[in-house]
Structure 1
Amino acid sequence: MTAPEKVVITPAADEKIVPLMVYIPGRLIWGEAVVKEAIRVSTWLRTNVAPEVLTLFNAKMLIPTGGSKQKPIFHPELSVFVNQIIAYHLIPPHQEPPDFDPTEPNRIMEPVTLWVDTFRFDGHLRLSALSSVRKYLDVTREAFTSIYDVEISNPLLPEMGTLKVPYLIVRQNMALYGKKAG
């Protein structure tokens, strides 16, 4: 059996290719998405132009389990229903500008640790200075929440090390939220 070959992607004039990492239950997937040039990918799934199905080209998939070193499973094309996506982010060094004004008064970056399946996300939640993580989660009804300056690790995949991303979004009701330890 021969290994599948990489797909050569040729975007249209109004499209771009963006490297994404996607977290779904029991899986980590990364690959290339083709999107309209005007789309801000890091907030895409929070908008009314979000697709129902996300297609990743030259996709690799890991099924995190303890034990021997893992090899990614390659798919030239892999479609994921967006309602399965727990979290996603651009793959470094690819990044977009922040989605907020850093000079906005009365806002804080609250340290948090999120658990998404077996992945640990140490980052910051942007809140009102008068709020807390608990209050934010109690009153916010958005599907996806933004997490900033994130360090991603997985105790089942120590060989993965720590991945640092400036921004990710997480499906709010599919993550565990903890005060950042230490």
Structure 2
Amino acid sequence: MISDTQLKQLVEAAIFAAEEPVTLDQLLGGVLSQFSLNKPRVRQVLDQLQEDYRERGVQLVEVASGFRFQTRADLGPALVHMWPERTPKYSAALLETLALIAWQQPTTRGEIEAIRGVSVSTQIMRTLQERGWVKVVGHKEVPGRPALFATTKEFLDYFSLQSVADLPALVEPTEPDTRERDTNEV
């Protein structure tokens, strides 16, 4: 029999030591396999740990691939000084392409080009695939059978999302206000 405190410590240690996010099934089939525990009980422990870490410098978060510890997002600007190397800078074209794939998935390169109004370079698609953020999920049933692209679990994990449903709502651009402004406005 394992006490509540020991169970909490074991789950916390397992997630902390893991190199990748850990799923509930991985916990039950691995470190907790010697105990007679069910998913609701382990989920309750995970919820308690999330609450325990809510106001701390690190948090237990659930992403698409499972649970992981990560630093609080609001501490990022202060922590960035600890590591001399910079995160890669991505072009606006790459980020626009990634955003379109995320919101329109599955989508073809041609559909992305039609929305952006410019061609999508092979290098952009290669970079997104090498980064593990995008993959080919099939082919569209039209002449030429173009590849259909969609985001991956790595994309969701990187952006701390559990699913594409967690993406912010897509806001349609509005037309700029072309009316003359009142000269008395400040």
Q: TM-score range by the shorter chain?
A: under 0.3
Q: TM-score, normalised by structure 1?
A: 0.20
Which structure's CA Rg is the greater one? 2
Q: TM-score, normalised by structure 2?
A: 0.19
Which structure is higher in helix share? 2
Which structure is higher in strand share? 1
